[in-house]
Amino acid sequence: MIGRAALGLAAAVLAAFLLAPERFAPLLRPLAANGAPPIYTQTSLLGLTLWHLALVAAAVAASTVVAVGLGILVTRPGWRDVLPLARTVTSVGQTFPPVAVLALAVPLMGFGSGPTLLALFLYGLLPIFENTLAGLTGLPPAVTEAARGMGMTPAQRLVQVELPLALPVILAGVRLSAVIALSTATIGSTVAARTLGEVIIAGLLSSNTAFVVQGGVVVGTLALLIHAGFVWLERRLAPGGPSDRR
């Protein structure tokens, strides 16, 4: 989609901005009206970025564990009766607006990162679960037959054959969830989660467009980079991809 050079440049500019944001002040000053500060300084941008990434990573990791586990479970013989339920739960999880989940979770979990984690977790389940199902059920029958013929136990077949083959498809699901979570996490700052949304909200409250733009651009660039990273990983892990040709 975007050339490697452009991605490298984006990464370099992002790193430079996070390490020394004040250098970029002249660039953002035209957006800050009435002599307002052009760079958000209440909290370190680098620190907020790391918090943001940690929150997204934790939520996506939880979604991945649950959704892949559920995907494995409902494709085992004898557990098919759970499939319709798992489908319903994951798809309703994504129909629930994340802001609504966030707001409803506040009385249970209080202000802070908890509600955001829950909202991102629920929202991220569907893509990973659907892709795990597609990956595990779409295996060529010849492969699973061969594994059975070799005398592998069901557990061995799962770990050594089915999961490795389904991995690129599962990763594509994780990528979708991660990219969505990255931008959705900003909303968490409306209930006091530490994310880059803090910068954007500060901009909204003080009508300082410079804050809004820097928060938005940092999150957007992170999303592009993470998207590209996952695509690279998927290609490497694809059957017949570079990692196979050792």
Partner 1 sequence: MAAAAPARARVTLSRPGVLFAAIGLAGLALPLVQFRANRIVAGEGASLPGALGGWGWIAAAALAAALLVGVPARTPARLRLALALGGVLVTVAALGASAGALTPPGDRIARVSPSAGFWLLGLAFALAVADALARIGLAFRQRWALLAGAVAVVALVLGSGLLDDVSVMREYQARRDVFAREAGRHLLLAFGSLGAALAVGLPLGIAIHQVPRLRAGVLGGLNIVQTIPSLALFGIMIPLFGWVAATVPGAAAAGVAGIGAFPALVALFLYSLLPVVSNMVVGLSAVPHGARDAAVGLGMTRAQVLAQVMIPLTLPVVLAAVRIVLVQNIGLAVIAGLIGGGGFGSFVFQGLNQTAMDLVLLGTLPTIALALVSGIALDLLVAQLDGRRGRGT
Binding site for partner 1 (CB under 8 A): 1-2, 31, 73, 76, 78-79, 81-82, 84-85, 87-89, 92, 95-100, 103-104, 106-107, 154, 179, 182-187, 189-191, 196-197, 200-201, 203-204, 207, 209, 212-213, 215-217, 219-221, 223-224, 227
Closest to 59 in 3D by CA, of 15, 92, 101, 18: 101
Please identify, using beta-carbon distances, which residue of 213 and 233 lies nearer to partner 1: 213
Q: Are 198 and 52 contacting, i.e. CB atoms less than 8 angstroms apart?
A: no
For partner 1, give the closer residue by CB, 79 or 232.
79
Nearer to partner 1, 66 or 89 (CB): 89
N- to C-terminal Cα separation, the chain: 28
Cα(60)–Cα(175) distance, rounded to whole angstroms?
9
Q: Which is nearer to partner 1, 13 or 73 (CB)?
A: 73
Nearer to partner 1, 82 or 143 (CB): 82
Shortest approach of partner 1 to residue 246 CB, angstroms?
A: 32
CB 106 within 8 A of CB 191: yes
Q: Which of 105, 92, 120, 98 is nearest to 181 (CA)?
A: 120
With a CB cutoff of 8 Å and minimum separation 6, the contacts of 159 are none
CB of 38 to partner 1, least distance (A): 14
Q: Provide, rounded to whole angstroms, the least separation between the CB of residue 73 and partner 1.
A: 6
Residue 172 CB partners (closer than 8 Å, separation 6+): 131, 230, 234
240: three-class secondary structure by DSSP: coil
Q: How far is the CB of 1 from partner 1 (least distance, A)?
A: 6
**Shortest Å, Cβ 175 to partner 1:** 13
Radius of gyration of the chain (CA): 21
User: What are the tokens at 209?
Assistant: 């467009």
| Shortest reach from residue 50's CB to partner 1, in Å | 17
CB 194 within 8 A of CB 113: yes
Using the minimum distance from each CB to partner 1, give the nearer residue, 77 or 151: 77
